[in-house]
């Protein structure tokens, strides 16, 4: 991911440490440009992590009437040639837009994680946008009469700035002569969720926000009917073993039809995310030699989500290239002060690795064990990671952010030797729990609700909807910042537009079944898919949140409490 910055009446040099943070995100090239219009100064800056196109395309990108910054990936565009970078392709498309209507039509066609900033030199309007699923980070800061937008901010002590993650609501239009009066062209029609986000934006930053006509991304326009042809709560009342239950369920033709459609979507998503990157690893990127090192790493807890992604990645990554499976564990101290690294995710990962090796015997799997001592964790949290997590500030953000940072750094042991992953793309299973019902709170929403089965499922639906609506705020922006800080691109195949649209058309009774025990009923649809493609042992491993599976967090802590470091 690139690091982008746009300041109105402020400069990147005046933001403590910001240039260094942006360069860590984009180590391949950096540049800036200054613009002054009637005493209003603008600065655009970008540090690039080159991932798409035959050649690196520099930014800020200049068109005849605009200056543009783009961070992210654009997928699923039929007429986009792979040899052209996203920046070059989008810049050309933007130059063909004659008015704002054309710009909105262009944005509606995009699929993939992105943050976009561009300035119209003629109208003096600044446009800011995040993709509708909110997968990349974009922070807005206000300091006195200055305002700025950037991929990462950094927690500066003694600063008077006010910062928040820009909500991914649509296209914001800002005239530089009146920078605190914004106009929003939302992705969807105005509803309660959007109104609440806007209220938070206006209260925190002191803005006024008006509304233009709403957009609707093209992928949202397909009217998918709910798959009412199977119901886990009717099928799973039989008493049988796990394998017997799975085999019985897979004989259901309607369920198999849905699994096959899901298979097409997840395979396409993984294929795009492992192929769209230069054919050289981090160490060989600027050399001329042929590279047969790892280009793709999977953050590997051993659970069903990451194991599915690893198995599918095997289909599309060249046979000669290894795939790094990175497992992170935090120091566990026993009663007598002894250190152990056999945390739950380490044990699960070893089980899953054996199954992957049997399923894909020709692939070289680099199983990388990352061990983090408590001392190292405290040091990096206090001096570095806290700046990446900001403006989020809870113990949960601290735990998840640290786990993702150390794992994506990829520095550990492989086959007993010191190893640092040279992969430039990190594949993660983010989104699977929110989509398929993988959290304990989903089980509780069903089992603890007083009512009949239909009412319990309706309450579960509310919980799933709430989780999905806040995934960007709770997870995605933060995870983008911590992974990109290691000069790597985070890609989450489960959070792909058409796949999300398909899965969210299902009833909860077709995604999970809490009549069954943990490790079976949670994410049942996804477990069945994993079982179907050969991950039979992995399909029945219990779900653990990464902060508990890696032992970075204690279940007795209140995840919502403020971190001591932030």
CATH classification of the domain holding 537: 3.40.50
513: three-class secondary structure by DSSP: coil
Written as tens digits, the pLDDT of the chain (566 aa) is 699 999 999 999 988 889 999 999 999 999 999 999 999 999 999 999 999 888 889 999 998 889 999 999 999 887 777 788 999 999 999 999 999 999 999 999 999 999 999 999 999 999 999 999 999 999 999 988 899 999 999 876 667 889 999 999 999 999 999 999 999 999 987 776 778 889 989 999 999 999 999 898 999 877 766 556 899 998 887 666 777 889 999 999 999 999 999 999 999 999 999 998 888 999 998 877 889 999 999 999 999 999 999 999 999 999 999 999 999 999 887 767 778 888 889 999 999 999 999 999 999 999 999 999 999 999 999 999 999 999 998 989 999 999 999 999 999 999 999 999 999 999 999 999 999 999 999 999 999 999 999 999 999 999 999 999 999 998 999 999 999 999 999 999 999 999 999 999 999 999 999 999 888 999 999 999 999 999 999 999 887 666 655 556 565 565 566 666 65
Within a domain: 410 = yes
Q: What is the pLDDT of residue 557?
A: 62
> For position 178, which CATH number holds?
3.60.20.10
Of 185, 219, 253, the domain-final residue: 219
458 in any annotated domain: no
Helix (H) or strand (E) holding 442: helix 440-447
DSSP for 259-328 reads HHHHHHHHHHHHHHHHHSS-SS-TTTTTSSS---S--EEEE--SSHHHHHHHHHHHHHS-TTS-EEEEEE
Q: Is residue 227 situated within a structural domain?
A: no
Last residue of some domain: 204, 219, 234?
219
Question: Is 473 contained in some domain?
Answer: no
Asked if residue 167 and residue 109 are part of one domain, the reply reads: yes
Distance linking the first and last C-alpha atoms of the chain: 24
Euclidean distance between CA atoms 553 and 566, whole angstroms: 16
367-400 as b/e, with b when 16 or more CB fall inside 10 Å?
bbbbbbeeeebeebbeeebbbbbbbbbbbbbbbb
Q: Are residues 68 and 213 in the same domain?
A: yes
pLDDT at 560: 60
Both 354 and 282 in one domain: the answer is: yes
338 C-beta neighbours (distance < 10 Å), count: 8
Measure the CA–CA gap between 58 and 29, rounded to whole angstroms.
Answer: 7
Please tell me whether residues 118 and 46 are part of one structural domain.
Answer: yes
User: Among this protein's residues, is 291 annotated catalytic?
Assistant: no
Q: Considering its fold, how many domains does the chain have in total?
A: 2
Do 180 and 127 lie in a common domain?
yes
Residues 74 and 161 in one domain: yes
In angstroms and rounded to an integer, the radius of gyration of the C-alpha atoms of the chain is 23
In a domain, 442, yes or no: no
On whether residue 487 sits in a domain, the answer given is no
The dihedral sign for the CA sequence 76, 188, 175, 200: negative
Query: Is the same domain home to 400 and 315?
Result: yes
Contact (Cβ atoms closer than 8 angstroms) between residue 398 and residue 462? no
Task: With respect to residue 510, please indicate whether it lies within any of the assigned structural domains.
Answer: no
In this structure, are 149 and 42 located in the same domain? yes
Length of the chain: 566
* Cα separation, 343 vs 562, whole angstroms: 25
Do 214 and 295 lie in a common domain?
no
Statement to judge: residues 254 and 215 lie in one domain: no
Domain extent at residue 176: 3-219
Asked if residue 508 belongs to a domain, the reply is no
Whole-number pLDDT of residue 35: 95
Do 363 and 404 sit in the same domain of this protein? yes
Of 2, 104, 236, 291, which one is the catalytic site residue?
A: 2
Based on the fold, state whether residues 271 and 208 are members of the same structural domain: no
pLDDT value of position 553: 57
């Amino acid at each position: 991911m690139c690091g982008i910055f746009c300041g109105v009446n402020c400069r990147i040099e005046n933001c403590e440490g910001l240039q260094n943070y942006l360069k860590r995100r984009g180590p391949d090239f950096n540049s800036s440009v200054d613009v002054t219009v009637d005493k209003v100064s603008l600065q655009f800056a970008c540090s690039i992590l080159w991932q798409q196109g035959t050649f690196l395309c520099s930014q800020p990108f200049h068109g005849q009437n605009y200056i543009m910054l783009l961070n992210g990936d654009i997928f699923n565009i039929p007429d986009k040639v792979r040899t052209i970078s996203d920046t070059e392709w989008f810049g050309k498309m933007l130059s063909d837009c004659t008015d704002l209507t054309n710009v909105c039509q262009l944005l509606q066609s995009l699929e993939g994680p992105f943050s976009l900033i561009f300035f119209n030199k003629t109208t003096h309007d600044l446009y800011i946008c995040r993709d509708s699923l909110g997968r990349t980070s974009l922070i807005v800061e206000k300091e006195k009469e200055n305002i700025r937008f950037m991929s990462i901010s950094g927690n500066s002590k003694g600063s008077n700035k006010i910062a928040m993650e820009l909500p991914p609501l649509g296209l914001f239009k800002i005239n530089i002569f009146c920078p605190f009066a914004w106009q929003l062209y939302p992705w969807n029609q105005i509803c309660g969720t959007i109104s609440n986000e806007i209220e938070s934006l206006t209260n925190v930053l002191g803005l006024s926000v008006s509304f233009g006509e709403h957009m609707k991304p093209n992928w949202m326009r397909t009217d998918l009917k709910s798959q009412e042809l199977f119901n886990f709560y009717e099928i799973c009342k039989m008493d049988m073993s796990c394998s017997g239950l799975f085999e019985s369920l897979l004989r259901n033709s309607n369920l198999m039809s849905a699994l096959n459609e899901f298979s097409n979507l997840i395979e396409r998503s993984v294929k795009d995310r492992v192929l769209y990157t230069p054919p050289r690893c981090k160490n060989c990127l600027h050399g001329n030699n042929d590279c047969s090192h790892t280009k793709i790493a999977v953050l590997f807890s051993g659970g069903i989500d990451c194991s599915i992604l690893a198995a599918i990645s095997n289909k599309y990554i060249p046979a000669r290239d290894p795939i790094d499976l990175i497992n992170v564990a935090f120091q566990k101290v026993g009663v007598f002060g002894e250190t152990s690294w056999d945390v739950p995710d380490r044990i699960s990962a070893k089980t899953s690795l054996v199954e992957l090796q049997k399923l894909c015997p020709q692939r070289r799997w680099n199983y990388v064990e990352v061990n983090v001592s408590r001392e190292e964790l405290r040091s990096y949290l206090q001096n570095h990671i806290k700046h990446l997590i900001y403006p989020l500030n809870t113990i949960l953000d601290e735990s998840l952010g640290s786990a993702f940072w150390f794992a994506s750094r990829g520095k550990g042991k492989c086959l007993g030797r010191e190893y640092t992953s040279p992969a430039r793309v990190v594949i993660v299973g983010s989104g699977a729990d929110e989509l398929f019902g993988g959290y304990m709170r989903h089980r509780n929403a069903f089992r603890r609700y007083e009512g009949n089965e239909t009412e319990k499922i309706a309450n579960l639906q509310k919980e799933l909807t709430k989780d999905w609506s806040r995934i960007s705020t709770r997870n995605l922006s933060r995870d983008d910042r911590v992974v990109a800080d290691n000069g790597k691109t985070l890609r989450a195949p489960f959070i792909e537009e058409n796949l999300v649209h398909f899965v969210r058309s299902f009833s909860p009774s077709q995604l999970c079944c809490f009549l069954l025990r943990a490790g079976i009923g949670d994410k049942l649809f996804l477990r069945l898919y994993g079982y179907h493609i050969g991950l039979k042992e992995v399909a029945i491993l219990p779900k653990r949140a990464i902060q508990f599976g890696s032992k970075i967090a204690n279940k007795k802590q209140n995840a919502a409490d403020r971190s001591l470091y932030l």
